[in-house]
Homo-oligomer: A and B are copies of this chain.
């Protein structure tokens, strides 16, 4: 659920008048996007998405995100296209917040991931990686290995409130992963958050990738590792090797993973699980009592992390 800012209709009409997209006929707050307010805007020319950025997205990062989506859309990626106002500007202000309008994408997120979703997902991820090769802007990944050390230090004193021994386990994990973390894999811009709720399908066709607000420069194979975590475990947290096979096969149809990337994949997958464990743990420990938010269970990623720790080689992921 995500509508944090209510928009007055007169303000909205004035806002939309700065674009050449027709007149507003409706605006409904939608349950999409983790940390922004999103509206499905209907105008006389069709549907659009209006996003107001709340605290979690830094305004200084918006030109990167908008530039990235525009770059990818121009290269045929099914992602939201930021709409320019009549004056050329993409990022404006509404209800005191940075706000943009992007194109509407058809399709629905899979509520239950099935193996048939994972091939198209892999292909789309590789397509995205090919499309960003010449994207000129950069954004550091604040949630990579350097960021983990800070998160571990913050969470460790209270981690045992979530599970006994968790504080020690995350400290030990950091000690094991950090020195071995790769330094020179193929890198470019990655999506970094390509969970099922950020991918739309129409029947079996992948019709859209959304929510680029964690995109950053990092190893391309790390994006594959994130998807292995987000798409290839069953609700009971058992690993589904068929889904992993479909995902990596799909990816390889569009972009061949290099031997160094394949070799690094188990560690990258372990690191990706660690990253989501740590941020969920942070949210879990920092949510105000009684706050009206859903906090995701950090232990889901502890179990995924332990799985990746047990993996012998990338062959376990179908490679």
- Measured CB to CB, the residues of A under 8 A from B are 1, 3, 6-9, 12-13, 24-32, 40, 42, 47, 104-112, 200-203, 289-290, 292-294
Q: Is the CB of B8 within 8 A of A106?
A: no
Question: A27: which B residues are within 8 A, CB to CB?
Answer: 108
Q: How far is the CB of A94 from chain B (nearest CB, A)?
A: 13
Known contacts A6-B111, A26-B47, A42-B106, then 8 further A-B pairs from the complex at CB < 8 Å, ordered by chain A residue:
A1-B3, A8-B111, A9-B108, A9-B110, A13-B203, A26-B105, A30-B40, A42-B47
Question: A31: which B residues are within 8 A, CB to CB?
Answer: 1, 3, 28-31
Question: A12: which B residues are within 8 A, CB to CB?
Answer: 108
A11 — nearest CB in chain B belongs to which residue?
B111
Q: How many copies does the complex hold?
A: 2
Q: List 23 A-B contacts (CB under 8 A).
A: A1-B1, A1-B31, A3-B31, A7-B111, A12-B108, A13-B203, A25-B107, A26-B47, A26-B104, A26-B106, A26-B107, A26-B200, A28-B28, A28-B30, A28-B31, A29-B30, A29-B31, A30-B31, A31-B31, A40-B40, A42-B106, A47-B47, A292-B294
Q: How far is the CB of A203 from chain B (nearest CB, A)?
A: 8
Q: How far is the CB of A316 from chain B (nearest CB, A)?
A: 29
Report Cα–Cα, A202/B23, bound state, in Å.
10
- Tell me whether chain A's interface is mostly helix, strand or loop, or mixed: loop
Q: How far is the CB of A269 from chain B (nearest CB, A)?
A: 27
Q: How far is the CB of A115 from chain B (nearest CB, A)?
A: 14
Q: Is the CB of A26 within 8 A of B108?
A: yes
Report Cα–Cα, A76/B12, bound state, in Å.
28
Interface centre among A1, A8, A28, A29 (most CB of B within 10 A): A28
Question: A9: which B residues are within 8 A, CB to CB?
Answer: 108-111, 201
Report Cα–Cα, A111/B10, bound state, in Å.
10
Question: A112: which B residues are within 8 A, CB to CB?
Answer: 8
Report Cα–Cα, A105/B42, bound state, in Å.
11
Interface centre among A3, A7, A31, A202 (most CB of B within 10 A): A31
Q: How far is the CB of A103 from chain B (nearest CB, A)?
A: 12
Interface centre among A9, A29, A104, A203 (most CB of B within 10 A): A9
Q: How far is the CB of A256 from chain B (nearest CB, A)?
A: 32
